Every structure is written in C-alpha cells, then in structure tokens.
Amino acid sequence: MSYLLAFVGFSALVMLHELGHFWAAKRVGMRVERFSLFFPPHIWKTTKGETEYCIGLIPLGGYVRIMGMNPNEEIPPELADRSYSRMAVNKRIFVIAAGPLMNVLVAFVILFGLFLIVGLSSPSSTIDRTEPGSPAAGSLQRGDKLVSVDGKSGDVATLGAAISKHHCAGKPVDGCAATTPVSVVIKRDGQTETLLLTPRYDAAAKKTRLGFNFAIDHKAVGPFDAASRSVSEMWRVSEATMSALSKLVYDPQARKQISGVVGSYEVTRQSFEFDLAQALTVLAIISLSLALINLFPFLPLDGGHIFWALAEKLRGRPIAYSVMERASAVGFVLVLVLFAVGLSNDISRLQGGGFGLR
C-alpha cells in the first residue's frame, strides 16, 4: 500500500504543477494543445475542446504543450493572437510562474493543514511501540515512561545519545550487539523498574539502538499560528535547499546529500509506512523544493523561460530563438548532472544502509 500511496502523492505534485501552467494559460487566452501527466509513450488519451489530455508511461514528470512555445512553430493566422510567443511578456511570465507557485501553494496548504489538525508535534519520553525482534521487544511495553539511560535523564535526544554510546567490538556491521548493556530505568504502572538491554547496530540509522519509538505529543494551535508556522517552516526549508545546492560545486559531502526521484519516492514510501503526518510533511518539502529548483534561471526549467521573457522586456524586442537554444545547453547539462548525482546517491543508499528515516 505504501508504494501506491507514494506514487499517488508524487503524481499529485506533478499534476498540480502542470495544472498551474494549464489554468494560467487558459486564463490569459493561450491555446493549450496538450495536458500530459507523465511522459510518452502515452497509454491513454482523450480530447475535450481544443486540448488533448494524456497519461504517459514514464512517471518522471509531465507537461503542458501551449501553442507557440517554439517561436519557429507554424501557427495558423486566425490563432496567432493566442500563441505563447505572441503574448505580452507579463502574460508569459504569469503562465510559467504559475507551475512553481502552485507547488509553493501545495506545500503551504499541507503544512497549514497539519499544524491545524495535528498541532505542534514533539516526542515524549513515553514508549509508543517496539520493533519486532529488537532488543526492546519483550522488555519494553507501550506506555512505559523512560526515566533515564545509564543514569542520565533529559529529553529524547539525550536519552537516545546515551544508548548510541554503546558500540560493537571492531567495525560495526548491521545487527551486531554492543559489548556492554544499557541500564534503562522505566516507570510502568506507577512502579519504577531497571532493565539491562544490549543495543544493536542499525546500519540505516548509523548507530546502536534498542528498537523502540517514542510517542508523539500534540499541542493544538489556532489558524493564524498555523499559517505563521507554515510560512516559517517553508522559509527554513527554502534556506536549507538553497544552501545545499550552492555547496554542490565545492563540497563533496553536500553532493552526497542530494537525492533524486528514486530517493525522494523511497523516503515518501517509507514515511507512509511509519506515519501519515510525516509522509505529508515529506511531500510538502518535496513540493517546495521542486518549486525552488524549477525557478533556477536555466532552460528548460521554468525559471529559464522567465529569465528570457524578462530579458526580452528589458531589451524591448524578442530574443533570437537560436540564442536561447545555445543557452539552454547549459541548463540541460546542469539538470543532467543534478539528476545523475541524485540517482547515484539513491542507488548507493538502496544498496547500502538505506535512507535513515528513523
């Protein structure tokens, strides 16, 4: 089921992005010839009015084909005034920007809804569940309150760090047992108990764990607070995304953090297995990141079209299509490099320790 939910989530992000372009183009009177979810070959087509609606076989995106996107396209004289290339610059920018702006709106709506419905979420020191076959299974129970670990009390980060200080002998391998047990003090049914549990190394999390999850506490917030926190979270994600992308050229560690379509899909899928709210948060972050990347001023990205439209506005006359074609080569190379880096990292994570979702 998680595979299907992740696929539906990704498809919705693509469809809504293209729907932004589609709506804006129709709004300003452009002739939309095709609206396609995914790329060809097409497995389903239907025509309504002047627009052909399609579903492609390759689920890596989608597109809206507007008449006149290619200035060299032959356009019937009676339709010339509805061509993209003949429209005013501000209308073209509006149509192109509508896709990324739709992704921004989707991210806001998801985060706003989560803050409003779920509230502020923070982990408590109460055990929610244990993982089958883990050191915690059979010893810790749902509802147990974790008081201290090796004599140390504090927030969940402090307690988790105390557990991970216990290491395997030699180089850790997935599932190896630590050389020393953890002294865990819990409160159960009003009584305090001390347990000795031996953590195991989790290659996905890259640390030793006992194999349990903390329960999440929720605090209700009002609509204005939810809106404010949504904007703040989107700003934080935007800053982190731009910072990571700016480091790609000179920081090898930053390049290792990039994920492609495969990695984003897998993280979303795992999130649906773990928690619906977390999965929706991941989709919101992906939607916002897609908007930011799409606004980079390189063709074939949306930002490239906006850049050349603004250049035309400043110049006072259209830019030669041959110039844009040559410049687009840079954008294609950057997109391919980013895709290759992300795919390479995704393959390494799938073959290795996974994506560290815990």
Catalytic residues: 18
Residue pointed to by tokens 């935007």: 238
Is 208 within 8 Å of 200 (Cβ atoms)?
yes
- Which among 156, 158, 149, 233 has a CA at the least distance from the CA of 186? 149
Q: Rounded to an integer, what distance in angstroms lies between the CA atom of residue 118 and that of residue 217?
A: 10
Alpha-carbon distances of 254 from 27, 34, 315, rounded to whole Å = 41, 38, 38
Q: Which of 297, 296, 286 is closest to 261 using CA atoms?
A: 286
> CA 346 to CA 344: how far, in whole Å?
5
Distance of CA 247 to the CA centre of its chain: 19
Strands laid side by side in the 120-130 sheet: 191-197, 182-188, 145-149, 120-130, 212-219
- The 10 Å CB-count burial string (b at 16+, else e) for 238-251 is beebeeebeebeee
Tokens in use for 343?
């795919």
Q: How many angstroms separate the CA atoms of 143 and 123, rounded?
A: 13
Rounded (5°) CA angle 315-319-323: 130
